[in-house]
Amino acid sequence: MMTRRRLSMLLSMTPGIGGKSLVRILARLDLLGVSPDEFMGLSSASWKEEFGLSAKAVLALEGQRERLEEATMQIEERLEIHNVALITAADASYPERLEAFSSDPPSSLFLYGNAKLLRNKTFCVLSSRHTSPAGLNQIEQLAEAGVLAGETLVGGHDRPEYQRASVVPLRWGAPRILCLDRGLFQALGESLSDEPFRAARLWRYKFDPTTDLAISPCQPEMGFKGLNNQVRDRLIAGLSDRVDLVEVAPGGNMERVGRQAITAGRAVRISDRSIGYRELEKAGAGRIE
């Protein structure tokens, strides 16, 4: 039997269906009184005309239905074993910060650990690739200042710029939210117990789900692909009440994320270490001296 929850998961894994599309489809189901089983039995024309599915989504549902259903059931089983939560953009528990940050947020998020951290006051420290040693030091200082002020750091794990910030909470026994650019099992290991980068293991050998929260918009077994890093950067900023920018490359992804945060009404600060910091100040960012 296709439950509403299982259908939400299946649709969230279907190419061509984003967060807004998923919410629209489920709302349409309620309006028309169509059950999940009935939806899966509809024709491609009905999917397009009644539910607004794109040609890409229809093609995926027609050609990959058995694979998607099997993958959905396997994911459900693994989520239960490891106590991983899956929330979709159609769920009431989906982070409001993300909905307010982007017009098309990730359709699904896999959460492992202390989900209560999403209620805390949060911040992130962002910097473009190849940040200078002095810039890395400033990342660490800003992360420490936020942690000591009782804020929860939202960060990543696979670049020196993110690692420099994400190790700070460990030193102070503080919680952190780690956003991943790959599946949970790829980043944390099959038992979801590995710290995802070497420097963190100097402070804590195993990932502690009672303290920290790991979030991934990717399927649990998925490795790094294509533009996953850009999705991760937007996820980190979208979950943060404040965005601090250190060395931002003009025209790069971090500048775009910073501008998006300003548009979304977040508190944004930029270091004068950034070449184009005055332009972001004009757009509404404060300055970090």
SS3 assignment, position 213: strand
Instruction: Identify whether residues 152 and 244 lie together within a single domain.
Output: yes
What mean pLDDT value characterizes the chain? Answer: 92
Instruction: Identify whether residues 185 and 278 lie together within a single domain.
Output: yes
Q: What is the DSSP letter of 202?
A: T
Concatenating the DSSP letter of every residue in 32-87 gives HT--HHHHHTS-HHHHHHHH---HHHHHHHHHSHHHHHHHHHHHHHHHHHHT-EEE
pLDDT score at 184: 94
Per-residue pLDDT at 247 exceeds 90: yes
Instruction: Identify whether residues 230 and 246 lie together within a single domain.
Output: yes
Q: H or E element: which one contains 222? A: none
Instruction: Identify whether residues 65 and 96 lie together within a single domain.
Output: yes
Instruction: Identify whether residues 86 and 130 lie together within a single domain.
Output: no
pLDDT score at 4: 84
Segment 236-242 mean pLDDT: 98
Instruction: Identify whether residues 180 and 222 lie together within a single domain.
Output: yes
Instruction: Identify whether residues 127 and 246 lie together within a single domain.
Output: yes
Specify the CATH number for the domain of residue 253. 3.40.50.450
Domain end call among 91, 109, 127: 109
Number of domains in the chain: 2
For residue 245, the enclosing domain spans 114-288
Residues of 69-90 as b/e, b for ≥16 C-beta within 10 angstroms? eebbeebeebbeebebebbbbb
pLDDT score at 277: 94
Handedness of CA 223, 165, 116, 11 (dihedral sign): negative
Instruction: Identify whether residues 124 and 78 lie together within a single domain.
Output: no
Instruction: Identify whether residues 214 and 118 lie together within a single domain.
Output: yes
For the chain, what is the radius of gyration of the CA atoms? Answer: 20
pLDDT digits (tens, 9 = 90+) for 26-80: 889 988 999 999 999 899 999 999 999 999 999 999 888 888 888 888 888 888 8
SS3 assignment, position 105: coil
Instruction: Identify whether residues 76 and 151 lie together within a single domain.
Output: no
pLDDT digits (tens, 9 = 90+) for 157-186: 989 999 999 999 999 999 999 999 999 999
Q: What does the angle CA 232 – CA 202 – CA 199 come to, to the nearest 5 degrees?
A: 35
Handedness of CA 110, 113, 118, 124 (dihedral sign): negative
Specify the pTM: 0.88
Confidence of residue 224 (pLDDT cuts 50, 70, 90): confident
Instruction: Identify whether residues 61 and 35 lie together within a single domain.
Output: yes
Instruction: Identify whether residues 268 and 202 lie together within a single domain.
Output: yes
Per-residue pLDDT at 276 exceeds 90: no
Domain end call among 86, 109, 132: 109
pLDDT score at 115: 96
Domain end call among 87, 109, 131: 109
| 5/162: higher pLDDT | 162
